[in-house]
Amino acid sequence: DFSTVDIVQDLNRLLKINSGNSSTLPEVDLNHAMGCVAVIVKYLEMLSDDSNFSRFHISTIDLNQYMKLDAAAVRALNLLPSSLDGSNKSVSLLGLLNKCRTPQGKRLLGQWIKQPLLDEKKIEERLNIVEAFFNNVVLRQTVQEELKKFPDFSRIAKKFQKNRATLQDCVRVYQAVGRMQELVTSLDGCQDDHRPLINELFIAPLQGLTDDFSKYIELIETTIDLDQVENHEFLIKPSFDEGLQECREKMDELQQKIPRELNKAANELGLEAGKTIKLETNNQFGYYLRITRKEEKKLRGSKKFTTLDTRKDGVRFTNSVLRQLNDQFQALKQSYDDTQSNLADEVIKIASGYGEPMQLLSDTLAKLDVLISFSHVAACAPIPYCRPKILPKEQGSVILTAARHPCLEVQDEIAFIPNDVTLNRGTKQTADCIANLSSN
């Protein structure tokens, strides 16, 4: 159903509009485009999820800036991997060029390969960046190492949008943002003629995003117990909330008393604490004592202890004091966990407001990752690639000297012979070549 009857109303709910109404947007006048948007909204059931409201932007993409490739051309040019390639990734152009270090970079590379640019200025811009990293091995390798440390910001942003994020996701963003200055410092190592372009496309945006995340950094450092992150525990700081702090102090006090029961039980049973008798904890019983089945006879005649169960690894038991301390501890722990959960939800809700900067950071890192991947492949080829000279559309000729197929030359046991190719505009040879390519 391509009906656009309700499209303005739907867009008012879905789009992030600073002022006015979506009916004033120029895109609304594009009937076919709005029909497609209406179908997407209905198919994805976007209006049924409140988290989608005021989350999106709409803009017109000029498709004339991209080369149009049909499925036959994609197959003929080996642009994308196929099921017949097996484990040899370099058979396709995507596999050959994919030296990306981030998930978002790999996705953008696939998009670029399927949508080759036609705009001369944008092509030259990309080539300038590739050349800067091609000529500076240390800079290229340093930045690639830094990129490895960044998570998939696009996926994390979507988790925040869908209310599926956790404190661990908050910490991952915090840690990654903390590494941005190191990346900027590495990019500062570029001092050639392309430095202004690198500054414009990467250094300045990254510094701006660092400023945007300053309040986020403050939020995480104020609320989350970063000392426990090393233990893979993601918790709210007890000191952040008075009730949480009080509960934590009582739990710590009980955790000091509980081990004393182990020593008392060891003395009464004539066992060695920590070896033949142990204090353990689990979700079922909480804190309890355990002895080996070999020592079970020492437990039988005593009325001070109550057996919980008998297993292959020994007998689990408790006494009245330990049971009382355990009950108190479990009650406090439940209260502590509930308070933790409520506070964590609040922190995550605030952090979700940074979804847009996360996506901008993801886009910036992806573009940097792909261009460095190009420079890496160009520099590490059997014979390093050279930079093509790009002419305006409908001008000049195609002249290739000692041209090599990038995928074939890296295959084992294949001796590839370079070829010269000259296609002069308007000549019979060019027309015959294009006709032969079309027939194949």
Output the DSSP codes for 75-135. HHTT-S--TTSTT-GGGSHHHHH---SSHHHHHHHHHHHHS-B--HHHHHHHHHHHHHHHH
Ordered by start, the domain boundaries in the chain are 6-52, 90-235+346-380, 242-342
For the record, the structure tokens of 279 come out as 């204090």
Which of 317, 267, 250, 315 has the alpha carbon at shortest distance from 287?
A: 317
Q: What integer pLDDT is reported at residue 128 of this predicted model?
A: 96
| pLDDT score of 429 | 62
- Strand-pairing partners, residue 307, are 317
Q: Does domain 242-342 have CATH number 1.10.1420.10?
A: yes
CB atoms within 10 A of CB 360: 17
Asked if 90-235+346-380 and 242-342 have one fold, the answer is yes
SS3 309: strand
Number of residues assigned to the chain? 440
Q: What is the pLDDT of residue 102?
A: 96
- The predicted pLDDT at position 303 comes to 85
Which pLDDT value is given to residue 438?
Answer: 47
If we measure between CA atoms, which residue out of 129, 164, 181, 171 comes closest to residue 51?
A: 164
**In this structure, CATH architecture of domain 90-235+346-380:** Orthogonal Bundle (1.10)
The predicted structure's pLDDT at residue 21: 85
Secondary structure class of 425 (helix, strand, coil): coil
Q: Categorise residue 93: left if φ over 0, alpha if ψ from -120 to 50, beta otherwise.
A: alpha
The whole-number pLDDT of residue 440 equals: 46
Strand order in the sheet with 286-291: 277-282, 286-291, 314-319, 305-311
Give the chain's residues under pLDDT 70: 428-440
Contact 194, 132 (CB under 8 A): yes
**Residue 1, pLDDT score:** 72
Q: Letter for the amino acid at 138?
A: V
pLDDT of residue 197: 96
Q: What is the pLDDT of residue 432?
A: 57
List pLDDT tens digits, range 309-354: 998 889 999 999 999 999 999 999 999 999 999 999 999 999 999 9
Return contacts of 174-177, CB within 8 angstroms, 24+ apart: 174/216, 174/217, 174/220, 174/221, 174/224, 176/149, 176/150, 176/151, 177/209, 177/210, 177/213, 177/216, 177/217, 177/361
